[in-house]
Amino acid sequence: MVAVFLPRVVCTSGSILMKGSGMQARKAYVDTAHGQIHYRYTQGSGIPLVFLHQTASSSAMWVPMMDELQGRPCYAFDTPGFGGSYDPESVPDIGYYVGVMSEALSGVGIERFHLCGHHTGACVAVELAAEHPQQVVSLAMFGPVQLTRAERDEFRKHFSTPFAPNRDGSYLQQTWDYLAGLGADRRLDLHHREVVDTLRAWRGRVQAYNAVWDQDFPALMERVECPILLMCSRDDVLWPYFERAVQARPDARAEVVRGANFEPDLDPEGCVRAYEAFLREEVRG
């Protein structure tokens, strides 16, 4: 018999209910000691799939893949400072996000799960997998941040400047142009959504990136015990470091997908095809 995963869902009213039927992604909140975490979810059977977004996106970036992964329970969370989640006063390190996400997962009722992260989400995911090996069944990452200290310091120069609101509104055009340079302009609806998410997270973006540049991602990836899937597009900003990540974990499965820095949005079918093959053949799940 295949179990259907039906965790608790915390509504904005604070009441508890069971998930309803239907595959369309729904939204909910879960309380943590620091504040409320917003997430999207779909119903299904088996071990849940948990998704963590890149900076400065939100859980909305995972909806195309969640739509393709029909039949599996999927949960995409907004990390603190992004989407519908609370705004932290400070983020000392990636471990802060790991602690909050662990609490949110527990609050939703998820104990063991497949974990998938994109860019910053991959940084949170790799640390979560290293620190909580008993919970993470498998780890998938888009754009693993396999950088040296010097490379992280160079990235910090270009990706830690805030697009702060100003009275002449020039920050709006700056944000639009920045995201076009990352590939969001390949679809107008994607470009618009990412601009809105980035404007909302103008503080959270800097907090998250500074935490990323301080993290020793390669050391954490060495500690991961579960099966690993590494994915990247050739026009992703982290593509130059992808082969290095693959060489660091020769036991990992590696897949090249499409979509610049927005692979789940621009190539959901290819991403899901690679992910499901990994779950089926490497994890047997």
Q: In the chain, what are the domains?
A: 4-148+216-281 (3.40.50.1820)
Distance CA 173, CA 10 (A): 37
Instruction: Specify whether the CB–CB gap between 197 and 107 falls below 8 A.
Output: no
Helix orientation angle between 202-214 and 120-131, rounded to the nearest 10 degrees = 50
Closest CA to 54 of 221, 268, 208: 208
Q: For the whole model, what pTM was predicted?
A: 0.92
175 is written with which tokens?
Answer: 């944000």
| Run of H or E residues at 240 | none
Beta-carbon count within 10 A of 156 CB: 15
Beta-carbon count within 10 A of 69 CB: 22
pLDDT 10s per residue in the chain (285 long)?
Answer: 334 444 554 444 332 233 333 358 999 999 999 999 999 999 999 999 999 999 999 999 999 999 999 899 999 999 999 999 999 999 999 999 999 999 999 999 999 999 999 999 999 999 999 999 999 999 999 999 999 999 999 999 888 889 999 999 999 999 999 999 999 999 999 999 999 999 999 999 999 999 999 999 999 999 999 999 999 999 999 999 999 999 999 999 999 999 999 999 999 999 999 999 999 998 876
Instruction: Specify whether the CB–CB gap between 198 and 175 falls below 8 A.
Output: yes
Strand partners for 231: 142, 255
Write down the pLDDT at residue 283.
82
Q: What are phi and psi of 61, to 5 degrees?
A: -65, -20
Write down the pLDDT at residue 161.
86
143 is written with which tokens?
Answer: 């754009």
Write down the pLDDT at residue 284.
77
Residue type at position 230: L
Instruction: Specify whether the CB–CB gap between 87 and 22 falls below 8 A.
Output: no
Pairing of strands 136-142, 49-52: unpaired
Angle, alpha carbons 253-69-31 (nearest 5°): 100
Handedness of CA 67, 69, 72, 78 (dihedral sign): negative
Question: Residue 174 burial (CB < 10 Å; 0-12/13-18/19+)?
Answer: middle
Instruction: Specify whether the CB–CB gap between 208 and 120 falls below 8 A.
Output: yes
